[in-house]
């Protein structure tokens, strides 16, 4: 709020200064007339010294030229003055007769410096107004920069944040500056992200609990169903009438039907993933570098330049893939990260590796499965869905995601298809 007050005070002060300057120059009048006393003094001294003009001394501040009746110059105070009657008339100089013994012996041309005085006055006015306008311009430009930094740029960050939240990425916090005008506003959005993340984790835990419950119930249901089927098969073997055989056959069929329905419960949750749509399109490789930079919000990696080309990918989903990989590196390794880029005939391969030591070799094959995490994930919040969803996205973009232990830690390789290589 203080910055807005300073801006308004600065604009108001410059506006008052402009009005004051205009009033001063509008009211003030510039006297461009000749000094009559000084002119009379010049006429008197020139008349007295006319026969000895080489000894004449100008005791006034006026500049003048003395000529005889033939317009020959007898005396002048400086060069650049009007030296003839015609020139004096054009310049609006004062022309007076020099009379000696009641006879006109010459003329004195007093230089009119009113034009120079008026020009100087105008220049002063222009300089003052230009200075005030320049100060006002600097204040306005400064405030425009302030508005960009405190309003426009935070809203642009908020736009990218909203896109990530809409895409399901709730791990990256919203950077905020409590000093700017919208600091509290953006903080509210980050609180919302945090609450949504907690709700997502709770939902994932509920889903996991549901899966465990389904497994337990299926076991409990299959055991009596198997017993019913076994007894029915024995009854069918010893039945003597067609009616009994038909009844036992129907019981066996219903037992098989129940067994199939229970088995289908195990795979029902996997269908939920199909709701995440992937729409690949041609995008510039420099956008991929921007996505990597956005995902590395803690700035723990040096992002290399990308080969100049087009790739075939869904920008939103590819951003989610990188976000998940960097978020996992932050969460489980908490180290520096190396990023390498290599272009092949059909793909751009991006390798992201942390320095956390990796995971057990036997755990690598299951890391891309749903709800699966390594043993290093104990006591760390997570649902085990990041790599699973990322792998799903890459497959639907005709790319690939591979996970392995590198020289220093877990290494995730993202292979993005080049445009035209579909």
Q: What phi and psi values does residue 349 have, to the nearest 5 degrees? A: -100, 120
Is the distance from CB of 110 to CB of 88 less than 8 angstroms?
A: no
pLDDT at 41: 87
Query: ∠267-271-272 over CA atoms, to 5°?
Result: 125
Per-residue pLDDT of the chain in tens (422 residues, 90 and over written 9): 566 676 677 677 777 777 776 676 666 555 556 778 888 888 888 888 888 888 888 888 888 999 988 888 889 888 888 888 888 888 888 888 988 888 888 999 988 877 677 777 778 777 877 887 888 788 788 878 877 777 777 667 666 666 777 666 766 666 665 555 556 666 666 777 777 778 877 877 777 666 656 655 554 576 577 678 878 888 888 888 888 888 888 888 888 878 777 666 545 554 554 556 789 999 999 999 999 998 898 899 999 999 999 999 999 889 989 988 998 898 889 999 999 999 999 999 999 999 999 999 898 988 988 878 888 777 776 667 789 889 989 999 999 999 999 999 999 999 999 998 76
Distance CA 101, CA 212 (A): 136
Torsion of CA 189, 195, 200, 206, to 10 degrees: -160
Query: In angstroms, rounded to a whole number, what is the distance separating the alpha carbons of residues 160 and 262?
Result: 44
Whole-number pLDDT of residue 382:
65
Q: How far apart are CA 18 and CA 21, in angstroms?
A: 5
Q: How far apart are the first and last CA of the chain?
A: 55
Which pTM does this prediction carry?
Answer: 0.45
**Is the CATH number of domain 281-417 3.30.565.10?**
yes
Q: What is the pLDDT, as a whole number, of residue 408? A: 92
User: So what's the pLDDT on residue 412?
Assistant: 96
Q: Pick from 78, 75, 45: which is nearest to 59 by CA?
A: 45
Beta-strand pair 103-110/73-76? unpaired
Determine the pLDDT at residue 280: 94
How high is the pLDDT of residue 239?
87
CA distance 173 to 59: 85
Instruction: Give the model's pLDDT for residue 343.
Output: 94
pLDDT of residue 215: 55
Q: Do 67 and 86 meet the contact criterion of CB atoms below 8 Å apart?
A: no
Q: Tell me the domain boundaries of the chain.
A: 1-32+112-166, 36-111, 183-274, 281-417
Query: Which residues have a Cβ under 8 Å from the Cβ of 238 and sit 6 or more positions away?
Result: none
150 alpha-carbon distance from chain centroid: 11
Question: What is the structure's pLDDT at 6?
Answer: 67
Confidence at residue 222, expressed as pLDDT on a 0 to 100 scale: 61
């Amino acid at each position: 709020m203080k910055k807005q007050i300073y801006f308004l005070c600065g604009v108001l002060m410059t506006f008052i200064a402009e009005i004051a300057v205009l009033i001063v120059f509008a009211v003030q009048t510039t006297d461009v007339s000749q000094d009559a006393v000084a002119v009379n003094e010049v006429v008197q001294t020139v008349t007295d010294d006319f026969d000895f003009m080489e000894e004449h001394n100008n005791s006034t501040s006026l500049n003048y030229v003395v000529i005889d009746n033939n317009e020959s110059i007898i005396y002048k105070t400086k060069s650049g003055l009007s030296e003839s009657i015609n020139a004096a008339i054009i310049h609006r100089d004062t022309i007076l007769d020099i009379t000696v013994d009641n006879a006109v012996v010459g003329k004195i041309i007093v230089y009119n410096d009113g034009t120079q005085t008026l020009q100087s006055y105008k220049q002063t006015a222009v300089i003052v107004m230009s200075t005030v306008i320049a100060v006002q311009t600097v204040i306005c430009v400064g405030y425009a920069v302030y508005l960009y930094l405190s309003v426009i740029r935070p809203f642009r960050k908020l736009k990218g944040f909203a896109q990530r939240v809409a895409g399901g990425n709730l791990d990256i916090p919203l950077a905020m500056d409590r000093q700017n005008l919208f600091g509290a506003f953006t903080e509210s959005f980050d609180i919302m992200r945090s609450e949504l993340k907690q709700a997502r984790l709770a939902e994932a835990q509920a889903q996991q609990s549901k899966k465990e419950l389904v497994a337990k119930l299926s076991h409990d249901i299959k055991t009596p169903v198997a017993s019913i089927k076994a007894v029915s098969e024995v009854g069918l073997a010893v039945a003597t009438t067609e009616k009994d055989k038909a009844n036992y056959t129907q019981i066996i069929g219903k037992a098989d039907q129940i067994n199939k329905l229970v088995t289908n419960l195990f795979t029902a949750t996997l269908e939920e993933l199909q709701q995440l749509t992937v729409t690949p399109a041609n995008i510039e490789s420099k956008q991929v570098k921007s996505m990597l930079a956005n995902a590395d919000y803690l700035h723990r990696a040096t992002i290399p330049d990308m080969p100049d080309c087009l790739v075939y990918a869904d920008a939103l989903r590819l951003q989610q893939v990188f976000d998940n990989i960097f978020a996992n590196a932050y969460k489980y390794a908490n180290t520096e990260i190396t990023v390498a880029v290599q272009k092949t005939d059909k793909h751009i391969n991006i390798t992201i590796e942390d320095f956390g030591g990796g995971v057990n070799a036997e755990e690598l094959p299951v890391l891309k499965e749903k709800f699966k995490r390594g043993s290093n994930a104990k006591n760390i919040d997570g649902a085990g869905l990041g790599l699973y969803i990322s792998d799903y996205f890459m497959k639907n973009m005709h790319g690939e995601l591979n996970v392995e232990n590198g020289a220093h830690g877990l290494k995730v390789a993202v292979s993005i298809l080049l445009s035209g290589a579909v």
